[in-house]
Amino acid sequence: MRPSRHPLFAALISVLLLLTLVAPATAAPPADADELAHDSWIVTLSADANPRADAAGFARAAGGMVGHVYTHALNGFQFRGSAQAAATLERNPRVASVQADSPLELTETLPFGIERVRAYGLGGTTGAYQAGFRGNGARIAACWLARRSGVAFPRLRVGERVLSARVEGDEIEVDLGPAEVGRPEVLEIEGERLEFVPVSIGNPHAVFRREPTRDELLRLGPLVERHERFPARTNVQLVRVDGPGELTVGVWERGAGETLSSGSSAAAAAAAAQAHGWSDCPISVRLPGGTVTVDVRENRVVLSGPVAEIARGETV
């Protein structure tokens, strides 16, 4: 299958290699990442680096090894190593990003043709950070299922939600279900009062209308995630309204950290923008890893964007 001409979310990569699914994750491991024993990472290299020539040396220098090399969907490789090794690798000036690789799995067929999708967090299904819900993962699961079975409208159970999808070529649309958008609240962070909008789309989000610079995301993300307001922690979005139907979003993922792509975070940001009059739908949501479209239809959030298969393999 041809690679997508759209920017791919880097966090979507290893799923299609394993015939399981990838979800977005960190470009900088959290302080307590060692306890999670995570060992698989997606590495994006700078434009002047060649993954075929450079990946093995970069991986060895960081204390790990290469799992796969990518040359089509992204310029990079899969890195196998500890969180400390991943942090060392990220300091390489020719490495653009390092993201934890957390798969999804199609586990069983339920009545009425519904496929159950299991989401793995950084600590696994029983680890410290269970994934719970994956927006981009649901799109990839729908794409893989449609291509395997020929069904153009697959249905998936992710966590407690049954999702309906529509597959048309490389474009995958998934109805994520209802969004619960709350009224604005205020958090006090390091003596600063910050307004945010709480959103739930099967998982918790704190949406801030704020310039999504990387420095600000790295500063606020861990402080908001672990704030006492969120006993189960939260995902964090910094949102800039660029114009009618256009948002730019920075994402800090609960239990993972800075994230280049997140379907549920894109959906949460768009739902908050629509509910509070920042923008009308449909909304083009730009994240560092790519762009998706989010529409809110009768309070149901619909996420759409491209998916490209880059390889096939088998686990043993």
| pLDDT one-digit tens code per residue, 227-241 | 999 998 999 999 999
CA distance 316 to 301: 37
pLDDT at residue 312 in the model: 67
Residue 54 pLDDT grade (very low, low, confident, very high; cuts 50, 70, 90): very high
Least confident range of 52-56, 76-80, 150-154, 229-233: 150-154
pLDDT at residue 144 in the model: 76
CATH number corresponding to 26-100: 3.30.70
Residue 315 pLDDT grade (very low, low, confident, very high; cuts 50, 70, 90): low
pLDDT at residue 53 in the model: 93
How far, CA to CA in Å, does 41 sit from each of 46, 126, 144, 194, 224? 16, 19, 22, 33, 25
pLDDT at residue 106 in the model: 55
Assigned superfamily of 180-306 = Diaminopimelate Epimerase; Chain A, domain 1 (3.10.310.10)
Of 256, 265, 285, residue with least CA distance to 98: 256
Query: What confidence tens digit (pLDDT) does each residue in 188-228 have?
Result: 999 999 999 999 988 899 999 999 999 999 999 999 999 99
- Cβ atoms of 87 and 72 within 8 Å: the answer is no
Percent of the chain with pLDDT over 90: 41
Residue 34 pLDDT grade (very low, low, confident, very high; cuts 50, 70, 90): very low
Burial of 39 (0-12, 13-18, 19+ CB in 10 A): middle
Instruction: Check residues 251 and 164 and name the one with the higher pLDDT.
Output: 251
Query: Would the pLDDT of 166 be above 70?
Result: yes
Query: Would the pLDDT of 6 be above 60?
Result: no
Query: What confidence tens digit (pLDDT) does each residue in 250-308 have?
Result: 999 887 788 888 888 999 999 999 999 999 999 999 998 889 999 998 888 999 988 77
Query: Would the pLDDT of 177 be above 70?
Result: yes
pLDDT mean across residues, the chain:
77
Q: pTM of the prediction?
A: 0.67
CA distance 302 to 204: 17
Q: What is the mean pLDDT of residues 137-151?
A: 74
Query: What confidence tens digit (pLDDT) does each residue in 96-139 have?
Result: 888 776 555 555 454 444 444 444 444 333 333 334 456 667 77
Domain ranges of the chain: 26-100, 180-306
CA distance 203 to 234: 8
Amino acid at 224: V
